[in-house]
Structure 1
Amino acid sequence: MQLDHIHISLSDQQLVGFVDGQPVCRYPVSTALNGAGEAEGSGCTPRGRHRIRARIGEGLPLGSVFIGRRPTGEVWSAELAEAFPQRDWILSRILWLCGEQTGFNRGGSVDSQRRYIYIHGTGDDQPMGRPLSHGCIRMRNTDLLELFACVPVGCIVQIDA
């Protein structure tokens, strides 16, 4: 199955995947602690129409750690998290978003791609269903692996408040 559309609701903290207009998967997420917003440096989750620009991490182990979209060779564990408490953990896979609405989430100081907005995995100690991220959409690693397998580059992602 290949998704043709993803909807992310900031108010519900949920991601829903669609095929031919029908919901086929649903996952809890964690979006920005700072709420909705498009401005660079805001720490907010951007709204509007996006698409998947890149899929990163295929074939890597569950819990693989990324820094700058590159795997570090580490695999997340509670011990690793304790050793590096200030890290914003980007784990397992990355679905990099690109805004589709010029002046709103694309270009200038509101560009989602240049803000490095991703759908990505996070540590097992992080709750879902509560906004806590720095702007990205966080998911459970096992949920992200399921989603990643169904999402092609170019898939539409709509993010609404």
Structure 2
Amino acid sequence: MHFDPWDSSGLPSTPAGIWFHVSVWEQKVRVLRGKEQIWETLVSTALFGCGEEPGSYRTPRGWHFICEKIGEGSPLGTEFRGRRPTGLLWTPDAPFRERSLILTRILWLAGMEPHNLTTRERFIYFHGTNREDAIGQPMSKGCICLRNEEMVQLFEQASIGTRVLIEERGSPL
């Protein structure tokens, strides 16, 4: 089912303040203030498409909110494991690793609708990645990956509670 965020008869209506819209179809995230777009960039969502099932390695759809912000002030390219900095720093000239690392910042998502309430336990995040070459095409295990500099920009616009709408299909807002 396609949810139109402008349709006030749906589940929940367009937030008045800052919120994020992820278009899986376009592989983009947009930052909006009400209905006004103020920023956008390319992302990479799940290689296996959209879905809410635990263990599916798919990007969950629907309304979410940012439940934790992790990594504020960390250097660009900081590698995280278990949401903790490892002490390692990735740089663009590092040897190629096909596996996407969790780098720079983390915005942890929690679902707001019955079908996506497992999002937090699935550890679905916005995060920077070493696979900046793959941004703009699906490649993650469910997360929403950004180039590291753009992850910092998104992080700065986010607050705990910022709403996020992830849509699989549909026209751009």
TM-score, length of structure 2 as denominator length:
0.83
- Classify the secondary structure of the residue corresponding to 1:134: coil
**Distance across 2 between alignment mates of 1:29 and 1:69:** 20
| Corresponding residue to 1:70 among 58, 81, 84 | 84
Q: Percent identity?
A: 41
**Distance across 1 between alignment mates of 2:128 and 2:21:** 17
Residue 127 (structure 1) aligned with residue 134 (structure 2): yes
Partner of residue 105, structure 1: 116
Higher relative contact order (CA 8 A, sep 6+): 1
Shift of 1:20: 2.7
Shift of 1:126: 3.1
- Classify the secondary structure of the residue corresponding to 1:73: strand
The residue type equivalent to 1:91 in the other structure is: L
**Distance across 1 between alignment mates of 2:132 and 2:164:** 26
| Corresponding residue to 1:14 among 28, 32, 42 | 28
Partner of residue 67, structure 2: 53
Partner of residue 159, structure 1: 166
Aligned residues: 152
Gaps of 5+ in 1: none
Shift of 1:88: 3.2
Given that 2:22 and 2:167 are in contact with CA atoms closer than 8 Å, whether structure 1 keeps it comes out as yes
Partner of residue 146, structure 1: 153
TM-score, length of structure 1 as denominator length:
0.89
- Classify the secondary structure of the residue corresponding to 1:144: helix
- Classify the secondary structure of the residue corresponding to 1:115: coil
**Distance across 2 between alignment mates of 1:17 and 1:105:** 21
The residue type equivalent to 2:26 in the other structure is: D
The residue type equivalent to 1:123 in the other structure is: N
- Classify the secondary structure of the residue corresponding to 2:150: helix
Gaps of 5+ in 2: 1-16, 169-173
